[in-house]
Amino acid sequence: MLFEEYQYFQYQFPEPQYLGAKHTLLPWINQFIPKNTKIALDAFAGSQSVGYLFKQLGYKVITNDFLNFNNQIGKALIENSDIKLEKDDLQLLFQPSNNKDKFKLIEEIFTNVFFEREEAEFLDNFRANIPLLDSDYKQALAFTVINRSMTRKITMGHFGHTQALVYANDPERVKRNRSLIRPIKEIFEELLPKYNNAIFDNKQDNQSYNLNILALLPNIENVDLAYFDPPYCDSHADYQGFYHLLETYTEYWKEKDFVNGIKRYEPQRFSGFDKKRDVISSFEKLFELSENIPNWLISYNNRSYPGIEEFEKLISKYRNVKIETKTYQNGRGGKGSVAGSQEILFVCSPKKKHSVGAPIVSNNHKEQSVNEGHISYEIIEKMKDRNDPFCMDVLTTLKNEKLQILKEVQENPKTLATWLYENQGEMRFGSENRLFLVLVDTDDFGNSWKLKRNLDLLKPAILNYLDNFKNKKIDDLQVNFEFKGKPQPFTALTDIIFVVK
């Protein structure tokens, strides 16, 4: 058919009310999407509008957000291909719950904060009935529409202020936005058809995830394009503060503390991209884990940290970069997009590859983190979030076990060296002699890779090894190993330099 790539554009994404949503920028972003894209990743999906664009373009879409209420949008509109909420489902959702005693969180915590008691009771009752729906996609759609209904009812569409009920009793504000006094049930019923009508099948196996992106990347493959829209650090990046109620409602937490006037949950989930102390190292890790994704598009803002020039230099280590800009005429874009500020799009393409010999020193942190660290990353971060005695005891036990393993491989490095040869990536297989550099931060094993920049630790350890190399015996350096899919055994000379903090 003519313009086949636009065959799914008859379906429309319901307009979001979300700080930083790229809904109004989609035609601009679309100009820079490589035409040979077949599989696309929306890594920090938020409102899911960019992931939905990818779906409209006929791509296989992998969408992800570390906040579950955003993941529910992805499951409802991107992963879901044909399941909608019907009349019988609404009757089930609106019926009096038989489980009221276990569903009083909104009434107890948020009455007279964001809602009058009657509305809070309705939300609890609705939440109690969501698990009764007979499909995960119906449940995701229910979460998506009820959460959107709540943002419609609250002035400014977020929960980072304590003026919701004050504004709802202000006749002038009500004139401009009648939703302030409308029942949430009525708003839900008005919005639902728009979401039902947005559901379509683009003939792809689309997937929505609820992970920290650093935990997801090692477990996906064959992606052609990654779209990164991280929190704009130092520029309205506190999504957990603005949308805490939606995450609380979706997760229905009871073990969290609810703090300050807005009753935000504590502890918050770890992002890695919203605090200055973490953001540079998180980006480095993000780009290294995205090494096999050829094309990147990175949304940014000229008011963010790090600054544009510094961020461009960081990206340039990994990709060729072209910078596109779009100036905001108003502040509707959120996330630092005040009138006059610029939305930045880093259009990143692969660097030309040059054939080089195998390095004598190999930094193995990438393969280690894929095989070990990132498999448990999300679990460990969630246990840190909970911070209760049980979780802390488990984390202490894990740390002690890792310290014991470290002690054993330092005493017998050939054991680890053999494992590294036998578990190397198939595409990078080699049996040549190797000197491994193993970095270990005993206070934070998952971030040991950060030590690669710590020259005060690296230089003495490497120089000490070289100074004492003459005392090594050849027999002590020889390892024999096998590799899956290779019929013959292999022999190599190898050793390990341990850098331990």
Residues constituting the chain: 501
- What percent of the chain stands above pLDDT 90? 61
Question: Does 280 share its domain with 395?
Answer: no
392 domain residue, yes or no: yes
- What percent of the chain stands above pLDDT 70? 88
Question: Does 224 share its domain with 343?
Answer: yes
Q: Which of 334, 353, 372 is the last residue of a domain?
A: 353
Question: Does 349 share its domain with 367?
Answer: no
Between residues 374 and 433, which one has the greater pLDDT? Answer: 433
Q: What mean pLDDT is predicted for residues 389-412?
A: 86
pLDDT of residue 299: 96
Between residues 105 and 406, which one has the greater pLDDT? Answer: 105
Q: Which of 331, 353, 375 is the last residue of a domain?
A: 353
DSSP output for 421-433: HHTS-GGG---S-
Q: For residue 496, give the DSSP letter.
A: E
pLDDT of residue 392: 83
106 domain residue, yes or no: no
Alpha-carbon distance 213 to 229, whole Å?
11
- CA dist 479 → 300, 468, 475, 497 (Å): 48, 20, 9, 16
Residue 404 has pLDDT above 70, yes or no: yes
In degrees to the nearest 10, what's the CA dihedral of 6, 37, 58, 50? -80
Question: Does 219 share its domain with 320?
Answer: yes
Q: What mean pLDDT is predicted for residues 147-164?
A: 94
Cβ atoms of 48 and 20 within 8 Å: the answer is: no
26 domain residue, yes or no: yes
Each residue of 414-463: pLDDT tens digit? 889 888 888 876 555 778 899 999 999 888 787 787 787 788 889 888 99
70 domain residue, yes or no: yes
Q: Which of 353, 376, 402 is the last residue of a domain?
A: 353
Residue 336 has pLDDT above 50, yes or no: no
Residue 441: which of 351, 398, 501 has the closest Cα? 501
- CA dist 319 → 281, 294, 311, 348, 350 (Å): 17, 9, 12, 6, 5
Question: Does 341 share its domain with 479?
Answer: no
Strand partners, 344: 300, 325
Between residues 187 and 392, which one has the greater pLDDT? Answer: 187
Query: What does the mean pLDDT of the chain come to?
Result: 88
Each residue of 232-287: pLDDT tens digit? 887 766 889 999 999 999 999 988 999 999 999 999 998 999 989 999 999 999 99
Question: Does 224 share its domain with 302?
Answer: yes
Question: Does 348 share its domain with 368?
Answer: no
Question: Does 329 share its domain with 433?
Answer: no
212 domain residue, yes or no: yes
Amino acid, res. 337: S
Each residue of 50-93: pLDDT tens digit? 999 999 999 999 999 999 999 999 999 999 999 999 999 999 99
Q: What mean pLDDT is predicted for residues 293-302?
A: 95
Alpha-carbon distance 93 to 499, whole Å?
57
313 domain residue, yes or no: yes
Question: Does 467 share its domain with 334?
Answer: no
pLDDT of residue 475: 84
pLDDT of residue 420: 87
Each residue of 193-214: pLDDT tens digit? 999 999 999 999 999 999 999 9
Domain that holds residue 475: 361-500
399 domain residue, yes or no: yes
DSSP output for 441-471: -TT-GGGGGGGGG-HHHHHHHHHHHHHTGGG
Alpha-carbon distance 482 to 376, whole Å?
27
Show the tokens assigned to 2. 């003519």
Question: Does 373 share its domain with 335?
Answer: no
- Which has the minimum average pLDDT: 63-72, 350-359, 488-497? 350-359
pLDDT of residue 14: 96
Show the tokens assigned to 228. 């990164």
Alpha-carbon distance 339 to 325, whole Å?
14
Q: What mean pLDDT is predicted for residues 101-124?
A: 96
Q: What is the CATH number of the domain that holds 311?
A: 3.40.50.150
pLDDT of residue 355: 38
Go through 406-445 and write b for each residue having 16 or more CB atoms within 10 A of its CB, e for each that does not: beebeeebbebbbebbebbeeeeeeeeebbbbbbbbeeeb
Residues with Cβ within 8 Å of 162's Cβ and at least 6 positions away in sequence, in order, are 113, 261, 262
Question: Does 432 share its domain with 392?
Answer: yes
267 domain residue, yes or no: no
Question: Does 349 share its domain with 392?
Answer: no
pLDDT of residue 60: 98
* Domain count within the chain: 2
> Helix, strand, coil proportions of the chain in percent (round to 5)?
50, 15, 35
Residue 372 has pLDDT above 60, yes or no: no
pLDDT of residue 426: 59
